């Protein structure tokens, strides 16, 4: 076992979320000491319950919008994985101010402190930054972005994450920040909640309950789904590769499926008698929603950089989600999990230099 004093330390913002909790688990298994920062707005204590008794895992229940907390954590860690974000179509539509503030201001705070203490940072972005492409041609990292009007609230998330990318690249160019940007294409797997509109856990939950599977629109829109284990493997490998600094990489599967075919596949694999229900977008989310027809990642760049490709196909993804939901039941409501307003579990006596400034000053 590596001596405690020499263990590398990683900060994972959004560490109690779906992807974040899997990343924390993988880092711990690789010998890292992990600090997870999460305000539990969309994350859940249940996601990290199996880690809470470990001496090398520290959960900080607070926000990336808190400069004093971020200052302390970034100072004591060697690398920063910035996954914290407002996500999910429902949350974006219902709370656009929260989406923009968390994604842009929160990233600004993280970038400022990573720069201040000279820490390497991985920024998790999204395939939504590509916008509304109408064909199924794989999207390379330098593809043009095709957006709708600002009156369509769906674009708040895409625009906020694009601004995150621009901020990170600006910090690299102007201030020398060591960072790598990852665009995630529909990561799925155990522990993902359907509460905010994520399609696979929502379909599986309804199929297991024998309820109709709601398809928004006509179901001809397609998506590629990547198992969270493959995504986490890409994140850690990119962080460990210094030559990826200031680069952007797609992370996703190239196995495309229409939402209609996905619903039918879920019904078959769960042996459910659920029916399909087609619901117009405006009935689900109100006005201001535009869906994106197709999103397929080009993955040649990441393959050349670290030899990564998705290895777990859609049937494995669905089987794992179905098994998890049958065992654990529906994902908990993060707002009702009884978490304290703030919980700071640390075992390091290191203190960061105090700062009275915010990241924008």
- Tell me which of 341 and 85 has the higher pLDDT: 85
Is the pLDDT at 93 greater than 90, yes or no?
Answer: no
Is 285 noted as a catalytic residue in this protein?
no
pLDDT band of residue 339 (cuts 50, 70, 90) is very low
pLDDT digits (tens, 9 = 90+) for 31-81: 999 999 999 998 999 999 999 999 999 999 999 999 999 999 999 999 999
More confident residue, 316 or 2: 316
Mean pLDDT, residues 294-299: 94
Instruction: Name the active-site residue from 157, 171, 249, 285.
Output: 157
Fold annotation for 9-331: Rossmann fold (3.40.50)
Q: Where are the domains of the chain?
A: 9-331
Asked if pLDDT for residue 273 goes beyond 80, the answer is yes
Three-state SS sequence of the chain: CCCHHHCCEEEEECCCCHHHHHHHHHHHHCCCEEEEEECCCCCCHHHHHHHCCCCCEEEEECCCCCHHHHHHHHHHCCEEEECCCCCCHHHHHHCHHHHHHHHHHHHHHHHHHHHHHCCEEEEEEEHHHHECCCCCCCECCCCCCECCCCCCCCHHHHHHHHHHHHHHHHHHHHHCCCEEEEEECCEECCCCCCCCCCHHHHHHHHHHHCCCEEEECCCCCEEECEEHHHHHHHHHHHHCCHHHCCCEEEECCCCEEEHHHHHHHHHHHHCCCCCEEEECHHHHHCCCCCCCCCCCECCHHHHHHHCCCCCCCHHHHHHHHHHHHHHHCCCCCHHHCCCCCCCECCCCCCCCCCCCCCCCC
pTM over 0.75, yes/no: yes
**What does the mean pLDDT of the chain come to?**
89
């Amino acid at each position: 076992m590596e001596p405690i004093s020499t263990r590398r330390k990683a900060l994972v913002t959004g560490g109690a979320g779906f992807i974040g909790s899997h990343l924390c688990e993988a880092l711990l298994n690789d010998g890292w000491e992990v600090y997870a920062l999460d305000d539990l707005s969309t994350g859940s204590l249940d996601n990290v319950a199996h880690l809470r008794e470990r001496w090398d895992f520290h959960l900080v229940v607070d926000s990336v919008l808190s400069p004093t907390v971020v200052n302390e954590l970034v100072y004591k860690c060697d690398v920063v994985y910035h996954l914290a974000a407002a996500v999910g179509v429902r949350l974006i539509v219902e709370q656009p101010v929260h989406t923009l503030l968390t994604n842009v201001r929160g990233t600004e705070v993280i970038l400022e402190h990573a720069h201040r203490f000279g820490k390497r940072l991985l920024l998790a972005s999204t395939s939504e930054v590509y916008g509304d492409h109408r064909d199924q041609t794989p999207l390379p990292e330098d593809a043009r972005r095709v957006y709708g009007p600002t009156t369509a609230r769906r674009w708040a998330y895409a625009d906020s994450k694009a601004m995150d990318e621009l901020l990170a690249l600006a910090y690299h160019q102007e201030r020398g920040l060591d960072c790598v940007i990852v665009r995630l294409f529909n990561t799925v797997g155990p522990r993902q909640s359907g509460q905010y509109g994520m399609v696979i856990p929502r379909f599986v939950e309804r199929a297991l309950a024998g309820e109709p599977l709601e398809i928004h629109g006509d179901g001809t829109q397609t998506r590629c789904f990547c198992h969270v284990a493959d995504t986490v493997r890409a994140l850690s490998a990119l962080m460990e590769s210094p030559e990826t600094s200031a680069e952007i990489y797609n992370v996703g599967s190239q196995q495309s499926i229409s939402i209609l075919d996905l619903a039918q596949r879920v019904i078959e694999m769960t042996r459910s008698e659920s029916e399909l229900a087609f619901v117009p977008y405006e009935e689900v989310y109100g006005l201001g929603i535009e869906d994106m027809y197709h999103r397929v990642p080009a993955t040649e760049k990441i393959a050349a950089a670290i030899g990564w490709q998705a290895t777990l196909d859609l049937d494995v993804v669905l089987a794992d989600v179905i098994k998890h939901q049958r065992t654990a039941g529906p994902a908990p409501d993060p707002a009702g999990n009884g978490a304290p307003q703030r919980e700071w579990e640390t075992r390091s006596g290191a203190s960061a230099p105090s700062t009275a400034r915010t990241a924008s000053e």
